[in-house]
Amino acid sequence: SAKEKGRNQYHFFDPGLDEHRRNRRAQLMEISRALENQEFELFFQPQIRLADGRLLGFEALIRWRHPQKGLVSPGEFLPIVENSHLEVPLGQWVLKEAIHQMNVWKEAGEDMAVSINISAPHLMDHSFADYLESYLYSHPEVNPGQITLEVLESTALEDTKQASNVLARCQTLGLRVALDDFGTGFSSLTYLRTLPVDIIKIDQSFVRNMLEDASDHAIVESVIFLAQRFSHPVLAEGVETMEHARALRQMGCNFAQGYGFARPMPATAVLGWARQHRRDPSGNASDPALSA
């Protein structure tokens, strides 16, 4: 029939797009199922104060413990989730899970600060702040001052004014705001001027080669200078060796995070790491990157 013919023609002209859509839908269904089956897990990576080596807190980083594929990193599934109906539910799961872990550690006698990555849609209306507010209200044991929201600098925040309002409201609730991956976006300076930020995270792409590459070195130095002018503390990401840590400290960088201190670890390893680190703040020698 003509109808069948039309359908065949459609497939003939655009098979790729169709398959792409089917694929994505299947992937999203799998992710939705994974969320229900609690296959997602948060890993935690320490953030260190460079002046004295003390522990500032941990950044929560999502992983997917896939029944067949094993541990899947966020770079592989967050792009699929982006702009889908799952983005907000997954973000809410991260928030709840991070706070749950904070409470587990608190019950074990350790008050641990946690940084949580949040994606752009959470800042486009007030529902995330509403959710946060009611969650904190019903969990008075949680100290909001121990929570930092990491906002991706490179995410095109379509509506910076609205994002500022939402972030300012989160700050009113007692949370801190970090500008993540600073320097990688197209509007770094605009964000710096517009968004209410408490801390700036220099992207690891600048830090990695800063000891060999004069341009990267200049960028890192300039970002630290800029942040100081705005009275914002700075954290360098991707600090893989103590040489990097030393150089950053000399440049006036406040905090660091990276394999040089520790790789992201399961929640069950956090207390042990924190206690060991307190006993011996310079003893990160378990990581081979340091002795190199």
Judged by the rule CB under 5 A, the positions of this chain that interact with Mg ion are 117, 150, 180-181, 237
- Cβ neighbours for 150, distance < 8 A, ≥ 6 positions apart: 59, 115, 116, 117, 118, 178, 180, 201
How far apart CA 84 and CA 158 sit, in angstroms, is 17
Task: Answer with the entry of Mg ion, ligand C2E, none that 53 interacts with (C-beta below 5 to 8 A by kind).
Answer: none
Binding-site string for ligand C2E from residue 216 to residue 255, where x marks contact by CB under 6 A and - marks none: ---------------------xxxx---------------
Interface pick for ligand C2E out of 34, 112, 142, 152 (rule CB under 6 A) = 152
Strands 234-236 and 114-118: unpaired
Q: Which stretch binds ligand C2E (CB under 6 A): 3-11, 72-80, 170-178, 183-191?
A: 72-80
Number of residues written out for the chain: 292
How far apart CA 55 and CA 111 sit, in angstroms, is 11
Residue 259 binding ligand C2E, by CB under 6 A = yes
Residue 103 binding ligand C2E, by CB under 6 A = no
Task: Answer with the entry of ligand C2E, Mg ion, none that 97 interacts with (C-beta below 5 to 8 A by kind).
Answer: none
User: Minimum distance between the CB of residue 9 and ligand C2E, rounded to whole angstroms?
Assistant: 41
User: Minimum distance between the CB of residue 10 and ligand C2E, rounded to whole angstroms?
Assistant: 36
Interface pick for ligand C2E out of 136, 245, 258, 284 (rule CB under 6 A) = 258
User: Minimum distance between the CB of residue 2 and ligand C2E, rounded to whole angstroms?
Assistant: 48
Residue 73 binding ligand C2E, by CB under 6 A = yes
Q: Which is nearer to ligand C2E, 47 or 164 (CB)?
A: 47
Task: Answer with the entry of Mg ion, ligand C2E, none that 238 interacts with (C-beta below 5 to 8 A by kind).
Answer: ligand C2E
Rg of the chain in Å (alpha carbons): 21
Q: Which is nearer to ligand C2E, 4 or 123 (CB)?
A: 123
Q: Which is nearer to Mg ion, 117 or 164 (CB)?
A: 117
User: Minimum distance between the CB of residue 42 and Mg ion, rounded to whole angstroms?
Assistant: 12
Q: Are 71 and 63 in contact (CB under 8 A)?
A: yes
Residue 44 binding ligand C2E, by CB under 6 A = no
Residue 139: exposed, middle, or buried by beta-carbon count in 10 A (0-12, 13-18, 19+)? Answer: middle
- Cβ neighbours for 20, distance < 8 A, ≥ 6 positions apart: none
Residue 45 binding ligand C2E, by CB under 6 A = yes
Q: Which residues bind ligand C2E (CB under 6 A)?
A: 45, 60-62, 73-75, 78, 91, 94, 117-119, 150, 152, 180-181, 204, 237-240, 257-259, 264
